[in-house]
Amino acid sequence: MAQQYEVVKGIDWRQVFPASVLTRCFRVAISVSVLLLATLGVCLTQAGWQLSQSVFAPAEGVPSEVPLVDLTKSEIAGDEPQNFWEAIENGNGPAWVSTQVCDYVDKEHLANGSIQGKYAWAICIVDAFWLLLVWSFVGGAITRIAVVQIGREERIGLQEAFCFVRGKYVSYLMSPLFVMVACAVLSLPILGISAMLNFDIGVVLAGVLWVLVVIAGIAIAVLLTGLFFGWPLMWPTISAEESGDVYEATSRSFAYTFQAPLQYFGFALIIFVMWVPGVVIVQSFAVLVEQVVFTVAGISGGSTMDDVQQFLKTGAMDTDSPAGIYALGVNIIGGIHWIGHAVADAFCISFFFCSSAGVYLLLRRFVDQTEIDEVFVVDEKNKYGLQDLLRESAENAATTVTDEGTD
């Protein structure tokens, strides 16, 4: 009896090793469209923060001007400016992040009840809400591009991503706020029962009802834990699912966080291992490009390139340098290089959103047994609404009548 042999012509690594789809995150994160979106989000965030500072800061007490946040350097504990890797090596990573976000907030004013403290709290609230407004749109567009490219291996343009996010922008915006509102509602019984502690008889009543305080505290802790670990999965949920809304984003992110914590941690570890060399590659490439430009242009540019380098390092030129049109040209060249640095720094954000999309698709496959490529796309059947269908039907009917009259 003749033996039959089957030749293996290929291996479907998505089925054998599903986590291999995470390798596409880097490719999507360095794409031009995603990097431009991340850079736009960074610039809008900084511009909004500076505007809120100028509007809410009083004439005295809180500085009236806030420099743009430099994502590569920061002053920590009175030391010289450090970049991210130096801060990590010195054990100042959390302080570096805190300084980048809240370097303009006077913590002494936040601790007291002075007028400056009220201004500082107003600035923090406005900045947090502006951050959510900006990244609900930008992050939603990045995750939409990422889930389609990672899951379906198809490309979509910026216009299509913007149209998709525009239709679900309220869901992107309200998903994290929904959990915060729920926590605020659950805190009301705690505040009401704790107010009884100001009276003797109220202490007895509070003791009887204190079990409700414990239950509300447990519920708030669970919600905050789910929000802290699950919010990166909320926007990919809305971007990938046809029925993606606030409820869908909240329920899926909490379910995947609590039902598959080990898988979530494993995928996050893989992402971190990919992120570190990715940042090194992107930053090194940006530095290489800048060094090549300065070296080649310095041959014929003379001292002008020295002024550009001085402007990039300190934000100003030498006092001996001429002003006027010359200064304007140096500022333009320096601004272009600043944008290049911003694009390189924005890679960290773009990679975060792209990796969140990849992790969501993998967790959905593990928990719900849904294939990775099952990502909702707007096809020709779903592109039109009721009004568009009625208009198209009326136009077709009018065309038919006209053709019949002509015959």
322 backbone φψ class: left, alpha, beta (φ>0; ψ -120 to 50): beta
* Contacts made by residues 397-402, CB under 8 angstroms, sequence distance 24+: none
Domain ranges of the chain: 16-67+104-368
402 backbone φψ class: left, alpha, beta (φ>0; ψ -120 to 50): alpha
Distance between CA atoms of residues 406 and 400, nearest Å: 10
pLDDT of 11 higher than 50: yes
- pLDDT for the residue numbered 49: 86
Closest CA to 351 of 130, 31, 137: 31
pLDDT of 238 higher than 80: yes
- pLDDT for the residue numbered 229: 92
Give the type of residue at 368.
D
- pLDDT for the residue numbered 132: 92
Percent of the chain with pLDDT over 90: 30
- pLDDT for the residue numbered 215: 92
pLDDT higher for 21 or 273?
273
Comparing 71-75, 174-178, 362-366, which segment has the lowest mean pLDDT?
A: 71-75
Q: Give the pLDDT confidence of 195-222 residue by residue, as tens digits.
A: 888 887 878 888 888 899 899 999 999 9
- pLDDT for the residue numbered 236: 93
Q: CA 393 from chain center: how many Å?
A: 42
Q: Give the pLDDT confidence of 320-370 residue by residue, as tens digits.
A: 556 667 667 767 777 777 788 888 888 989 999 999 999 999 999 889 888
- pLDDT for the residue numbered 396: 60
- pLDDT for the residue numbered 63: 45
pLDDT higher for 321 or 172?
172
Distance between CA atoms of residues 122 and 192, nearest Å: 26
Quickly state the pLDDT bin for 252 (edges 50, 70, 90).
Answer: very high
Radius of gyration for the chain, computed over Cα atoms and rounded to the nearest angstrom: 27
Q: Give the pLDDT confidence of 80-138 residue by residue, as tens digits.
A: 445 555 554 454 544 555 555 455 444 444 444 444 556 677 778 888 899 999 999 99
The neighbour count for residue 398, using CB atoms within 10 Å, is: 10
Which two three-digit tokens encode residue 211?
């079990």
Q: Give the pLDDT confidence of 19-66 residue by residue, as tens digits.
A: 778 888 899 999 989 999 999 998 899 888 888 877 776 555 444 444
pLDDT of 404 higher than 60: no
pLDDT higher for 28 or 289?
28
Q: Give the pLDDT confidence of 159-171 residue by residue, as tens digits.
A: 889 999 998 999 9
- pLDDT for the residue numbered 205: 86
pLDDT of 287 higher than 70: yes
Is 377 within 8 Å of 151 (Cβ atoms)? no
Q: What is the mean pLDDT of the chain?
A: 76
The neighbour count for residue 135, using CB atoms within 10 Å, is: 21
Which phi and psi angles does 74 have, rounded to 5°?
Answer: -160, 145
